[in-house]
Amino acid sequence: MSIHTTESAAAPTGGPALDDLLLHFEVQRFYTLEAHLLDQHRYADWLELLADDLHYWAPVRTNRLRRQQSLADGVPGEVAIFDETKDSLAWRIRRFDSGMAWAEDPPSRTRHLVTNVAVRPGDEDGTYIAESAFLVYRNRLEREVDLYAGGRTDLLRRAPDGSLKVVRRHILLDQNVLLAKNISTFL
Amino acid sequence: MSSLHRTPAPAVDVTEYFDIDNGLVDRGIFGDTALYQQELRRVFAPSWLFLAHTSQFRKPGDFFTTYMGEDPVIVTMGKDRRIRAFLNACRHRGMRVCRADAGAAKAFTCSYHGWAYDTSGKLINVPNREGYPESFDESRWGLREVARLDTYKGLIFATWNPDAPALTEALGGMTWYMDAMLDRDPEGTEVVGGVHKWVLEGNWKLAAEQFSSDWYHVNISHASALMVMSPTGKGPKAEIVQTPGRQYTDPNGHGAGFPTHPKSRFDDRVVHQYYDYGQLRERLGDGRVEGPMTTGHANVFPNFSYLPVNGSIRVWHPKGPDKMEVWAWTVVDKSMPDEVKNAQRLYNLRTFGPTGIFEQDDGENWSECQATAHGFMAGGMTLNYQMGIGMSAEDGVHPGTTGHLYSDGAARGFYSRWRDLMNTPAWHEKAADER
């Protein structure tokens, strides 16, 4: 199932039904929890929000002529900022436990802001397509500041215990040359 | 009037910044604006610089835009399938005529006044042509082409210097080491689509020097990554930390270092299992398979670096005395099955690049070194580059002069070359009758 869609989940669908309100609230609360965990560097807890069959992907974005815009966002199989499974994210996270991950020692201060959330049902029962916008502020050491802004399209799935898990996340970072020395957090 | 060659700015004699024999370097070379301008004129303009990989150009019109020093350039394949490179600046007012990163084009049309150039750089359209005098000759106003462009096993290099030695001569003995990455496969290499680009707050030499000669930092800077990658999860064994290895210093300023311990091979499992090491020994020789193919680092002077087992090739674009931009490609062997290419790609992006578990820490080091260079006292400090002095030799296995893996030897070689270029007037500074 593709999560790449031209039809925005944000398209108005008439007056909101109660189910919509509940779903929207649930997803919004899920993202707020996720942002808290990331900002508190509780990466192991963050991993619990991700499904075992996760694909977490942030392609590189290039400047292309308007007539070649279809090539502007990287495609699967190309160089990417992230192209991860749950295992590879766990592998990345283990390095923070070493006490010697100097790019995050002393740790950065981050604030993940997640907004513009729009949710619609996915193709399969118990799945949802959720779009959101993010702005991540990182302040590091004395005066280093980085801003990572972009959009995410998630495929969420309800687990047997009723909780939501991220199955796929497609991150479009709104930068060409990454204007930061690294990304040592997650988006 | 010859604008490039107007009276050259007075050059700084950089001799006093170095005592190479005694391994001393003055930190002024990392932050000084006048020295930086001199670098653009005397180090970047006359040297062979890496542009792109030949696999990025499959049909006429394919183009890729990059930089040579701070000069924007277009690299493109012409109708004759020849790859050329031009200054990406309109001859009319200097605007970039191509503002896309890559793509396919029949012509490059300036969006300011509409001057258009074909893929061989020829000026083919000038709007309101009748407004120009009769003496206006389009053939004299094509895009400015590099003086020389050549390839080495898939890597495209170019120079503005008409007097530059041939590329193979400039690469010299370094090609033996480069072939450990470029010549494993009779079909050669290709790059994966896309380029990682990111900024670093640091002088470009901090990165180039490290890729020339610095294995020393690996055990400390990358301790967390080594821990994650070790089979026990507790960090590599002592023999890996104290790994034997060699470091090559090239007289043209290039450098390469690599472990020679068979366990010091931080490669991807899928890629490792793909290789037929018996065949590679036949093709490249034991010395290369057990040396520069294990793992390691290298820099081709001035600013092209690579990591053989990670499949990372990159340029450190200078962006002022205290800033650089990294452009990094992923290189794979052409004959690799798709799943092996994919494994190499993933391994590279998870270890190197802006989110790589190794590279994140490199960025931290360079920005810190740059920041302290701005202080009056700290900026005037002499730095120690003495490791390995007097320990280099011909070892009978690795061609040229090599020293121990843990050495500043190739950094001293890098700065000798840099000093010599900085102290030598470039071709554009010589009088017309000398040229």
pLDDT in tens, B332-390: 999 999 999 999 999 999 999 999 999 999 989 999 999 998 889 998 899 999 999 99
Pick the residue from chain A with its C-alpha nearest to B101: A63
Chain B residues inside the 8 Å CB shell of A178 = 196-199, 354
- Name the residue ranges covered by the structural domains of chain A: 18-173
Give the burial class of B300: count Cβ atoms within 10 A of its Cβ; 0-12 exposed, 13-18 middle, 19 or more buried: buried
Q: Is the pLDDT of residue B2 over 70?
A: no
Residue B406's pLDDT band (boundaries 50, 70, 90)? Answer: very high
- The answer to whether B374 is a known catalytic residue is no
Per-residue model confidence as pLDDT tens for chain A (187 residues) = 445 555 565 555 567 799 999 999 999 999 999 999 999 999 999 999 999 999 999 999 999 998 999 999 999 999 999 999 999 999 999 998 888 999 999 999 999 999 999 999 999 999 999 999 999 999 999 999 999 999 999 999 999 999 999 999 999 999 999 999 999 999 9
Q: Is the pLDDT of residue B263 over 80?
A: no
- The answer to whether B398 is a known catalytic residue is no
Chain A residues inside the 8 Å CB shell of B346 = 83, 88
The set of residues, in sequence order, having a beta carbon less than 8 Å from that of B285 and lying 6+ positions away, is none
Strands B382-384 and B24-26: antiparallel
Cβ <8 Å between A182 and B201? no
* Minimal CA separation from B223 to chain A, in Å: 6
Interface residue of A55, A64, A85, A95 to substitute, partner B, most B CBs within 10 Å: A95
Mean pLDDT (chain B) is 94
Residue B1's pLDDT band (boundaries 50, 70, 90)? Answer: very low
The answer to whether the predicted template modeling score (pTM) of the entire model surpasses 0.90 is: yes
- The answer to whether B222 is a known catalytic residue is yes
- The answer to whether B196 is a known catalytic residue is no
Stretch B154-172: mean pLDDT, rounded? 98
Q: What CATH class is the domain A18-173?
A: alpha beta
- Looking at residue B433, its pLDDT comes to 59
* Minimal CA separation from A81 to chain B, in Å: 6
Cβ <8 Å between A94 and B233? yes
User: Is the alpha carbon torsion for B58, B85, B68, B251 positive or negative?
Assistant: positive
- The answer to whether B428 is a known catalytic residue is no
ipTM value, please give it. 0.95
Stretch B20-40: mean pLDDT, rounded? 95
Domains and CATH numbers, chain B: 49-151 (2.102.10.10), 174-422 (3.90.380.10)
- Looking at residue A1, its pLDDT comes to 42
